[in-house]
Amino acid sequence: MANIYYESDINRAAIAERKVAILGYGSQGHAHALNLKESGVDVCVGLREGSGSVAKAEEAGLTVRSLSEASAWADVIMILLPDTDQAEVYQEHVAPNLDAGDALAFAHGFNIRFDLITPPEDVDVIMVAPKGPGHLVRRTYVEGGGVPCLIAVEQDPTGGAKDLALAYADGVGGARAGIIETTFTEECETDLFGEQVVLCGGVTELVRSAFDTLVDAGYQPEICYFECLHELKLIVDLMYEQGIGGMRYSVSDTAEYGDLTRGPRVIDDQVRVTMKKVLEEIQSGAFAEEWVAEAHSGRENFYALEEKGRQHRIEQVGSKLRAMMPWISAGKVSVQDASGGQG
């Protein structure tokens, strides 16, 4: 069983006298910075020159420095930039400013797991990964709750890396919900697999394929949108709150029978073979190599696939239907408005 920690397990002194630099002010960056600041931690935000996020961070009451200045000022440096940007930023701005006993922190194991960043041996290397998007991490903290966090320690020359990781996770609200101990490798590989097979890739393709099947059979696109996409949130919420069994109890007997008998036909043994192949590509580093090469060569294929997705007819139908339901986004702040976006 995993080790799980709560507020009573935290040594808050481990971070009380530290200076924390958050590099990046995207979805996770703004949540980490603001939550830590309001938890009493001395924090600044490090951004590139000319970044559009500078004004947003300063308006939120945060001190903003350049990437190099923030790295030199801090003794705990959390890198919350896109995975494919981190190695370059580390080499240029972070590595020259690391001192023995400093801590290098990540919210995802990608760059350590695939050896894109190799920290010096006299620096602690930790991970603190809230299990939710930054805007949920922030909103839940403000409401007095917290989002569960993962922590991991890759290097511990000071002997205090785990205490620091726990205190950092507590500072962003994680100990209110629970902090689970893992490793950089486990977090990275399972996170990539979940994104590709279920949370993003799998769900996206399942929804679009089902929608296309119904529309091509002559059903109205608006009805198909509700059946294949809109109602998905209702089912996921039930699973989130009560597990798969609780969801099945909540739906009709007809829906449950269809789930039990037709679901395995859709996700069959061949799909499981493909899932294992995707996992092998992650474990071998093939996916990381492919993605880094794509990102560093101009992202031509990436942007083409993005545009193809935007042109899918479910997006056109969904845009019109969501405009008829303003309550969906009422009172919610967009990623772009609150932070620098994905950075």
Is 135 a catalytic site residue?
no
Q: Identify the active-site residue in 30, 32, 93, 108.
A: 108
Report how far residue 332's alpha carbon sits from residue 101's, in angstroms, rounded to the nearest whole number. Answer: 41
- Give the pair of three-digit tokens for residue 53: 């996020």
CB within 8 A of 216, min separation 6: which ones? none
Q: Which amino acid is at 73?
A: W
- Residues designated as active site: 108
